[in-house]
Structure 1
Amino acid sequence: MKNGTIISVAGPLVIAKGMEDAAVRDICRVGDLGLIGEIIQIRGDEASLQVYEETSMVGPGEPVEITGEPLSVELGPGMVANMFDGIQRPLDGFLEKTGGNYLERGVVVEPLDRDKEWEFTAVATIGETVEAGDVIGTVQETPVIEHRIMVPPGVSGVVKSIASGTYKVTDTIYSLDTDKGERSFDMIQRWPVRKGRPYKRKLGIEESLLTGQRVIDTMFPVAKGGAAAVPGPFGAGKTVVQHQIAKWANVDLVVYVGCGERGNEMTEVIDEFPKLIDPNTGKSIMDRTILIANTSNMPVAAREASIYTGIAIAEYFRDMGYSVAIMADSTSRWAEALREISGRLEEMPGDEGYPAYLGSRLADYYERAGRVITLGNDGAEREGSVTAIGAVSPPGGDTSEPVTQNTLSVVKVYWGLDSSLSQRRHFPAINWLSSYSLDSDILNDYVGKQLGVDWASMVNHTRNLLQEEAELQEIVRLVGVESLPETDRLTLLISSMIRESYLQQNAYDDVDTYTSLKKQHVMLDIIHAFESKSLEAMKLGAYFDDIVKGTAVVREQIGRMKYVPEDSPETFTEIRQSVDSTIQHVLEKEVYK
């Protein structure tokens, strides 16, 4: 294949001539340093490449080597508990090879460790007919992730040889007699990042992704296989929300993509995650996490590739039958990379300079989420899911800007972060009036069946109280709280209890950081019981001021519920009994006297 020659360099964009043998999306080695670049446009024999490494000191006349292959990921044992950059270069491997803390240009580091040995256990047998997606064998990659070695997509045949034992990822572990002859396979699959992996069929939503965050699980749930957006201004807590979901969500694996955000945010992940224990497995959360770090000081073009790298890895583990959550922090930085490259290509701009195809690119990404029946015919149908949660960083918190609006057109869950809430130290700062989940009805029914209660009614009543509070606050600003009817004043009191004692949650408290569904139900039920008992007392003649004065202690107990450990159910029983006895005492003192 004939190689080309550089004719101009403008930041991450390189123009080369003599590229008539190349194709769009081919990966090339650019310049004397052999930088990694991808062809994004071809006109005649000239090609435009976005280069994923710093291009300073690269100039006209230097060669461009065409590989003829698209940007791809290596999929196999060794990814979990590892950290990669935006094009799947392992950062630990970089450190070992270069001996420095900076990414040296042109350095080639294999994504998967070629020297590490893995214990491979065969599942298939000689003479067995297998097809794409069938599990050939397994490797215990971490204490909680069994890596299932699968027949690659597009391949089928009869197992001619297979062996169990200790092997490297590049060793031949099995061979198949296919319709094109005998083929040998190692543990690695290679897959182009911009192409979704195949599956048998897509399933509808059914099960909630439980995060342990009360405002999300109760008010705005997301389905396993769903997609959610977290827009908000700087400092509103987008990263903390994503960290919390990555830590506590009931998924088998998390792919966390730091896409253009500050390096200290990824440092926090690296520092915290190994110390945290997953409540579902009892092991370190890092044992089920893959990190892709493409921070703000890394080459801008690699931001654009990083979320595709992440989703391709997520789909691979989905195909094993796992539920996977992918966090992208943030898609605004990814969109900025698109805008910069588009501008250098002199394409016709859309809104605010973003390319006209911004919406379709976002849709391509989020539509790769889903709950599916995977390929493979080895016994029962295998179900896997990818849940995509993307942070959006609109300038000044203006959610009318193009990235937010195009994102909301393809996702079904919107967790809108509010700067006024964060300024009042209310976290998670998810605005309960502007946020929504289009799947809440189905997911509330699912949670209700899990708990054996009418969860949907409890949630709807909670929403109604918060909506009524917002309307009453407008009246209070005009005429004062004393002018409201007694029942409306009680509504304000109950709503404040919901906001402060339930929706507000401390991510840095060992107990309050995570709340199970069972505890969420108990907490909300106690607040609702306080409301219903208070309404009954008012019907019997008690005044609102009497209830407020007589229930100070029990309201303090309700406010402290969030800090009661999960394994102390007797404390919640005592609080619930205290609600009944306290309201009864108010009646006896103020009404029956």
Structure 2
Amino acid sequence: MITEGNIIKIAGPVIIADGMRGTQMHEMVKVGSDKLIGEIIELEGDTATIQVYEETAGLKPGEKIESTGGPLSVELGPGIMGSIFDGIQRPLEVIKEKTGDFIERGVDVPSIDKEKKWTFKPVAKVGDKVQGGDVLGEVQETSAVLQKILLPPTIEGTVKSIVSSGEFTVEEDIAEIETADDVKKVQMLQKWPVRKGRPYKDKLDPDVPLVTGQRTQDTFFPVAKGGTAAIPGPFGSGKTVTQQQLAKWSDADIIVYVGCGERGNEMTEVLLEFPELEDPKTGNPLMDRTVLIANTSNMPVAAREACVYTGITIAEYFRDQGYDVALMADSTSRWAEAMREISGRLEEMPGEEGYPAYLASRLAQFYERAGRVNTLGSESKVSSVSVVGAVSPPGGDLSEPVTQNTLRICKVFWALDASLADKRHFPSIDWLQSYSLYVDSVQEWWKETVGGDWRSARDEAMVLLQKESELQEIVQLVGPDALPDSEQVTLETTRMLREDFLQQNAYHEVDTYCSPSKQFQLLSTIILFQKEANKALERGANSKDIIGLSVKEDIGRLKFIAEDDFPTKVKSVQEEIIKQCGEV
């Protein structure tokens, strides 16, 4: 039943309406003569508080509110991949064709093209017993993504009929499922409420790393598949660039990039660059396996609050098909600011720094939808959604509420340092402030896949970098020459760790990506230099002679050696280290 109410008060993106008895929390409504999209966020008797996802200027008391009977939902099916949506899943390219460069209020365009025909190939057969999550058929959506058409989670029964291979729109019936009660018709198009997580069988331990090809992240501060990571840092420290590098090189099958309230120029850069990027896995455009959700800081603030839910729901949809998905949210600070503004309009009691008291629980609700799971279906698949959220604390102050609440939830903390970014050190992750709680979980994977004692090499390098921090304070007071020989060698080793291992050139065709095996061998080579140099010191060698060894230049060039030639080259460099340190 459609309920109609009337506006009685307007406060920016928040409006109050009466006559709304019979509606439900989070129900979607159409507001005013322009039918602006809104969502009920508070109900008291027949009075509803609605947040409107479009500009409310021009609305006046007395205008009609019409309920839609359902919650704010996204459309899922062929046609999502490679699209650019706004915060409530309206395709921006289609809107541009319809209204020009500026989005008109109330513009009504379908999220997914309902007229385009897709080549559907059935997988299920008549008579098969099926349950929610089972694959009915497949559609080759892009060169990189074979979309599996799943039976909706709520349906279970026997396949009564299924179409043969052919061209169909997303709204045409492709199968009939005979359930215990009646016969259900199934289409390729599904709808799912954004604030409700899609179901799965069970959640697995995050013990497989999300390999990013970035040495700092993979070796020192790894994130697991199905894990959560936060990238806090001040303006200009490289949050967006780091996320784009992860989107390009991480071993996720699908990328969902949510530009959540970032500046228009930053989002424009993403929208212009991503379609041009080449996918290193396939050689085709990276957009073939990417979904972009663009919601800039000058777009309606309420839609910013919804855009992260839109993104995570799309990510869960591809997770259910058996894909590993990486979601980049840039940035959750702008999302929290949208909550703060809506909360202020609702005249709620503010928490710390004006943010709503429920800030921590909303952040937790978002991040907890990440995970590595066994999917629904007769044959469950292991797949994951990993979430990397950028945080933009004002002035780089990591003690502010959004950063602190994010740290309580996320298990990886990649703290960006503006001073490192100023030195052109990429990625500008501060190795003294950052941490990962997945190190224990993924060490078995490193041992089995890469071999060798990855954990001890990593821990030894971390100890050396911590030692360097302490020594630098002494060096600033008395100079490096006043240090004992062993500590001068330690400073030289840590310089190599910083410049030859931690620093990476995103524009270099070889150094932009470093495999786990290459990372471990490169780190082991630097640690070998430290050990052999200390042995030489014990035999009475001079630190200046060790620091002057020519093999250091060979170590510095190792990261630019192609993967195929690397094993031979690194072996010869390690032999040279032992030889030259032995001759000092």
TM range (shorter): over 0.9
Contact 1:250 1:280 in 2 (8 A): no
Which residue in the other structure is 2:173 paired with? 172
The Cα offsets for residues 154-205 of structure 1, whole Å up to 9 and x where unpaired, read as 1111111101211111111111111221111110110000001111111111
Q: Distance in 2 between matches of 1:200 and 1:548?
A: 57
Which residue in the other structure is 1:441 paired with? 440
Contact 1:416 1:434 in 2 (8 A): yes
Q: Distance in 1 between matches of 2:354 and 2:508?
A: 42
Q: Give identity over the alignment, percent.
A: 56
Unaligned runs of 5+ in 2: none
Which residue in the other structure is 1:560 paired with? 557
Q: Distance in 1 between matches of 2:488 and 2:32?
A: 72
Contact 2:5 2:20 in 1 (8 A): yes
Which residue in the other structure is 1:18 paired with? 19
Deviation, structure 1 residue 445: 2.7
Q: Distance in 1 between matches of 2:459 and 2:28?
A: 52
The code of the aligned residue for 2:552 comes to R
Q: Secondary structure at the match of 1:79?
A: coil
Which residue in the other structure is 2:335 paired with? 334
The code of the aligned residue for 2:421 comes to S
Deviation, structure 1 residue 277: 3.3
Q: Distance in 2 between matches of 1:31 and 1:178?
A: 41
Q: Distance in 2 between matches of 1:62 and 1:559?
A: 69
Unaligned runs of 5+ in 1: 588-593
Q: Distance in 1 between matches of 2:358 and 2:150?
A: 35
Q: Distance in 2 between matches of 1:127 and 1:448?
A: 46
Which residue in the other structure is 1:485 paired with? 484
Q: Distance in 2 between matches of 1:428 and 1:337?
A: 29
Deviation, structure 1 residue 562: 2.5
Which residue in the other structure is 1:213 paired with? 214
Which residue in the other structure is 1:590 paired with? none
Contact 1:352 1:402 in 2 (8 A): yes
Deviation, structure 1 residue 441: 1.9
Q: Distance in 1 between matches of 2:382 and 2:3?
A: 45
The Cα offsets for residues 227-285 of structure 1, whole Å up to 9 and x where unpaired, read as 01111111111111111111100011010000000223233333333343333344332
Q: Secondary structure at the match of 1:311?
A: helix
The Cα offsets for residues 531-574 of structure 1, whole Å up to 9 and x where unpaired, read as 2221222222210011122x1x3222322322222233244344
Matches within 5 A, 1:66-77: 66-77=67-78
Q: Distance in 1 between matches of 2:119 and 2:181?
A: 30
Which residue in the other structure is 1:277 paired with? 278
Deviation, structure 1 residue 290: 0.6
Contact 1:260 1:295 in 2 (8 A): yes
The code of the aligned residue for 2:152 comes to P
Over aligned residues, Cα RMSD in angstroms? Answer: 1.4
The code of the aligned residue for 2:578 comes to D
The code of the aligned residue for 2:562 comes to P
Q: Secondary structure at the match of 1:506?
A: coil
- TM-score scaled by length of structure 1: 0.96
Q: Secondary structure at the match of 1:217?
A: helix
Matches within 5 A, 1:195-344: 195-344=196-345
Q: Distance in 2 between matches of 1:359 and 1:170?
A: 39
Contact 1:311 1:326 in 2 (8 A): yes
Which residue in the other structure is 2:352 paired with? 351
Q: Distance in 2 between matches of 1:333 and 1:243?
A: 18
Contact 1:6 1:64 in 2 (8 A): yes
Matches within 5 A, 1:510-549: 510-549=509-548
Q: Distance in 2 between matches of 1:314 and 1:450?
A: 27
Structure 1 residues 70-79 or 519-528, which shifts more?
519-528
Q: Distance in 2 between matches of 1:430 and 1:201?
A: 34
Matches within 5 A, 1:498-513: 498-513=497-512
- TM-score scaled by length of structure 2: 0.97
Which residue in the other structure is 1:583 paired with? 581
Q: Distance in 2 between matches of 1:259 and 1:306?
A: 7
Q: Secondary structure at the match of 1:208?
A: coil
Q: Secondary structure at the match of 2:440?
A: helix
Matches within 5 A, 1:345-494: 345-377=346-378, 379=379, 381-494=380-493
Contact 2:489 2:547 in 1 (8 A): no
The Cα offsets for residues 378-397 of structure 1, whole Å up to 9 and x where unpaired, read as x4x31110001100000011
Deviation, structure 1 residue 473: 1.6
Q: Distance in 2 between matches of 1:266 and 1:565?
A: 33
Which residue in the other structure is 2:130 paired with? 130
Contact 1:5 1:61 in 2 (8 A): yes
Matches within 5 A, 1:151-162: 151-162=151-162
Q: Secondary structure at the match of 1:560?
A: helix
Q: Distance in 1 between matches of 2:193 and 2:277?
A: 33
Q: Distance in 2 between matches of 1:35 and 1:544?
A: 73
The Cα offsets for residues 457-476 of structure 1, whole Å up to 9 and x where unpaired, read as 11011101101111122222
Deviation, structure 1 residue 55: 0.9
Q: Secondary structure at the match of 1:507?
A: coil
Structure 1 residues 217-226 or 162-171, which shifts more?
162-171
Q: Distance in 2 between matches of 1:442 and 1:546?
A: 41
Q: Distance in 2 between matches of 1:557 and 1:314?
A: 43
Structure 1 residues 149-158 or 478-487, which shifts more?
478-487
Q: Distance in 1 between matches of 2:210 and 2:466?
A: 25
The Cα offsets for residues 54-94 of structure 1, whole Å up to 9 and x where unpaired, read as 11111112111111210000010111111111000011111
Q: Distance in 2 between matches of 1:200 and 1:263?
A: 40
Deviation, structure 1 residue 490: 0.7
Aligned pair count reads 581
Contact 2:316 2:385 in 1 (8 A): yes
Structure 1 residues 233-242 or 421-430, which shifts more?
421-430
Which residue in the other structure is 2:106 paired with? 106
